[in-house]
Amino acid sequence: MGTNTSVSGVQGWILLYNLHVGEQAFPSMDHQQLSLDYDVIINCTGVGAHGLVGDTKVFPSRGQVMRVKAPWVKHWMLLEGKHPYIPGIPYVAGGSTATLIGGIRQDGRWDLHNDPRDTKTIWNGVTAAFPALKDAVVLEEKTGLRPMREEIRLEREEKKDPLSGRTVQVIHNYGHGANGITWSLGCAKEVALMVKQLLPEKSVKSRL
């Protein structure tokens, strides 16, 4: 039995439980509208925290992957360490609908376009390490940014709006690097615990 740990799998879970995810743009975490509309804000902006909250410890690590049709692949495989003739950091992740192959790690690079040079590196590396993939059919390519940070930022911060004087509690949860899905459940539980601790505090203050 396999486990679907893809982002699309997580999105499917959200739809299954009928959870509403809205979207609204704010230039920074100090935007007045935030303190007026919300009591608790959970900041899960990943590499975007570099600009949103001015965290210079956050930096991107660009990655590029390919989804291929290779139904004979049933396992995950990874070649660790620098190899004398196999380029990149090749890995293969078998899935229920497609196989994911990679990979690229380019720290400090922000662009999100698929680079043909990286496509070649991935394909040559994977097929050299795992020759059974030579007959795989490429379905799509994707590029993303890993939110790198020396330490995950998982903490509570109180911010005060200078105009209204109102305070809002911010819980930061970002900087998971290449392990976001791996650590997502544990960090989400920590965030949920912080929110539970904050809500009684808000309730008591509102009654005084």
Q: What is the pLDDT of residues 14-58, one digit of tens each?
A: 555 555 556 666 666 665 566 667 788 899 999 999 998 999 999
DSSP 8-state secondary structure symbol assigned to residue 57: T
Task: Please report the pLDDT score of residue 64 as a whole number.
Answer: 94
Which residue has better confidence, 6 or 164? 164
pLDDT score of 152? 96
What is the rounded CA–CA span in Å between residue 173 and residue 155?
7
Can you tell me which residue has the tokens 């935007």?
31
The two structure tokens encoding residue 152: 């995950």
What pLDDT sits at residue 43?
92
pLDDT of residue 98: 93
Average pLDDT over residues 113-123: 94
The per-residue pLDDT for range 140-194, each reduced to its tens digit, is: 999 999 999 999 999 999 988 777 778 888 999 999 998 888 898 899 999 999 9
pLDDT level of residue 202 (50, 70, 90 thresholds): low
Model pLDDT for residues 63-110, shown as the tens digit of each residue: 999 999 999 998 888 877 777 666 678 889 988 889 999 988 899 999
pTM of structure: 0.77
